[in-house]
Amino acid sequence: MNTKKSSANNSGKVWLVGAGPGDPELLTLKAVRVLGSADVVLVDDLVDPRILAHARPGARIVEVGKRGGCRSTPQAFIEKLMVRLARRGASVVRLKGGDPFVFGRGGEEAETLAKAGIACEVVNGITSGIAVPAAIGIPVTHRDTARGVTFITGHARDDSSPDWAALHAAGTTLVIYMGMKRADSLASRMIAAGFPADTPACAIQNGTLETQATVVCTLATLAARIAEARLGSPGLLVVGEVVRHARAAADLTRQLAA
């Protein structure tokens, strides 16, 4: 497909679009509209394929999958591709799971586009850190037990760790992205920093989808329960008193103190 368009300055535009937590029905109306007008869609691996039904007929779909532990398209390549396509006059959608600005590298891509003089607009998506816990009845904030929520990556670029002692003192709900494979190490560090071993915790795989699977347990038993249930990515970890609100929403759910 020829993505070149005629325009005064021969410059296109890039839309950084959040596809939401998984369930295609949680896509925003603006995301649907933008997808329906794009010439090219650069789609991440975690985006449900059914969402691409909203792309306009004839649009070029390019898979640029990025998933931990798997072969991924280099981020530098994706950024160069966005710039090249936009300079040819194309309208480009960079379609990501969740929200582009919540552990989605959207900030990095927006900076690259700005430096290249490419117009860019963000279309927010519902982040998994809120929607996935809600799918099993967990409110990430609650007036009685959690007056805040902290989003954390379990896979920092420089392999550093957050200040677990400070997070324990803050008393917020912790939602950990990309932490399934590191649950044992994460839980051990948290307990060593002062978190009680019986702190409610859960792991949720494929949240909001038909294949959703969950274990609800304690911080001390989290890694063992994940291994027992054979949960993997994509998934989230949730730690805090709000986990007590979880309901048995999946075949693999295990109740607290079971």
Catalytic residue numbers, as ranges: 44, 66, 178
User: Cis peptide leading into 234, omega within 30 of 0?
Assistant: yes
What angle separates helix 222-229 from helix 183-192, to the nearest 10 degrees? Answer: 170
- 79 and 115 Cβ atoms separated by less than 8 Å: no
Number of helices (H) and strands (E), helices first, in the chain?
A: 7, 10
Give the strands of the sheet with 119-123, arranged side by side.
Answer: 60-63, 40-43, 91-96, 13-18, 119-123
Q: Phi and psi at residue 90, in whole multiples of 5°?
A: -80, 150
Longest C-alpha distance within the chain, in Å?
66
Under 8 Å CB-to-CB from 244, ≥6 apart: which residues? 145, 200, 256
